[in-house]
Amino acid sequence: MANFLDIKNIESSDLKKIIQTALELKKSRSGLTKGAFDSDRALDGHIVALIFEKPSTRTRVSFDVGVRQMGGQTIVLSGNDMQLGHGETIADTARVLSRYVDLIMLRTYEEATLHEMAQFAQVPVINGLTNFSHPCQIMADIMTYEEHRGSIKGKKIVWSGDGNNVFNSFAQAAEKFDFNLTFTGPETLKPDSKVIERAQQNGTKISIEHNPILAIKDADLVVTDTWISMHDLQSARERRHNQLRPYQVNRELLSHAKSNALFMHCLPAHRDEEATSEVMDGKHSVIFDEAENRLHIQKAIMRWCLEK
Ligand code: CP
Ligand code: NVA
């Protein structure tokens, strides 16, 4: 049994194997109706708890559908409706859930909560997003890139906007998949320096360039995300918008990337804020493939956790 908590602690060979499995699972479903089981029903007899302390559309639905396609069943729980939201400790919750379910997926606030859940659970725990990271998303993004363009190794990925949780997982992936990563955004919203330093110490080609036009030059993939994440204070909205506006991904900015560059956004998007609708719906965009691939990659992640 293995946990899927962050990209940095998983072997690169395992991460690549998960992507390969996801591609095979996706292929094997082509032609199947949406409701159909996978032929091997790998989660037959398994029950998966999906716990959300924050809102979700993609993570909630893709995990739920993925478990069902593999023949398993889910219990979708909101943190507030559980005793967890009313004072029961994470450790006790983890120990109790482990007596009932075969796997736990948790979307929460603090990274420490996730790690505590994993420490005390006797079943695998998967990170469904924290304030610090979103590894399932980045696995789907890499799968999507490679489906469209082949190996991501050596490619130039540019993140434009807020140095947030999704960026952090990208930075960890840069080391494991050997791609070059450039962050462009305001100095005040640049990524956690520990994330950058760790990546650089491990030889990852990761850089910060505050000028978005210089940063995006020759990019193979341009990525952005909401300017205000779920854990950010709404009171910071105006300040963040003012600082991030120059980093909006629009036609002009994207014209400085390679002509065959892809555009990604994990969604949900605030159209015409971090990216224009023209870009989101344009020829570079693969945002809905990215969303679909959450399903396939998470199925591969769950299999890996249970088989490892
Ligand atoms: N990208 C993503 O994780 O979306 P949800 O918040 O809808 O799950
Ligand atoms: N950075 C965003 C990602 C949402 C999937 C957030 O944490 O709200």
The 10 Å Cβ neighbour count of residue 181 is: 25
The reply to whether ligand 1 has any atom less than 6 angstroms from the CB of 57 is yes
Structure tokens at 244: 């991030």
134 is catalytic: yes
Q: Which string of DSSP letters, residue by residue, matches 108-136?
A: -S-HHHHHHHHHH-SS-EEE---SS--HH
First to last CA, the chain: 5
The reply to whether ligand 1 has any atom less than 6 angstroms from the CB of 59 is yes
The reply to whether ligand 2 has any atom less than 6 angstroms from the CB of 164 is yes
225 is catalytic: yes
266 is catalytic: yes
Say what the pLDDT of residue 32 is.
84
Q: Which of 60, 134, 234 maximizes ligand 2 atoms within 8 Å of its Cβ, making it the mutation to test the pocket? A: 134
Helix (H) or strand (E) holding 89: none
Contacts of 93 (CB under 8 A, 6+ apart): 82, 83, 84, 117
Say what the pLDDT of residue 45 is.
97
Atom of ligand 2 nearest to the CA of 165: 1
Query: Of 6, 64, 102, 225, which residue is the catalytic one?
Result: 225
Query: Of 240, 294, 296, 303, which residue is the catalytic one?
Result: 294
Q: Which residues of the chain have pLDDT under 50?
A: none
Structure tokens at 27: 């292929």
Q: Whose C-alpha lies nearest to ligand 2, atom 6? A: 229
The reply to whether ligand 1 has any atom less than 6 angstroms from the CB of 56 is yes
Angle formed by the axes of helices 12-29 and 135-149, to 10°? Answer: 70
The reply to whether ligand 2 has any atom less than 6 angstroms from the CB of 230 is yes
Q: What is the pTM of this model?
A: 0.97
The reply to whether ligand 2 has any atom less than 6 angstroms from the CB of 165 is yes
H-helix segments, 30-110: 58-69, 90-97
The reply to whether ligand 2 has any atom less than 6 angstroms from the CB of 225 is yes
Q: Whose C-alpha lies nearest to ligand 1, atom 4? A: 58
Say what the pLDDT of residue 33 is.
80
Atom of ligand 1 nearest to the CA of 60: 8
Chain segment 34-84, per-residue pLDDT in tens: 878 999 999 999 999 999 999 999 999 999 999 999 999 999 999 989 999
Report how far residue 160's alpha carbon sits from residue 127's, in angstroms, rounded to the nearest whole number: 24
Residue 145 C-alpha to ligand 1 middle, in angstroms? 18
Residue 37 C-alpha to ligand 2 middle, in angstroms? 30
Structure tokens at 47: 């029950």
The 10 Å Cβ neighbour count of residue 243 is: 17
Say what the pLDDT of residue 280 is.
98
The reply to whether ligand 2 has any atom less than 6 angstroms from the CB of 266 is yes
Atom of ligand 1 nearest to the CA of 291: 1
What CA–CA distances, in Å, run from 174 to 138, 192, 197, 219, 245? 10, 15, 13, 14, 26
Say what the pLDDT of residue 35 is.
78
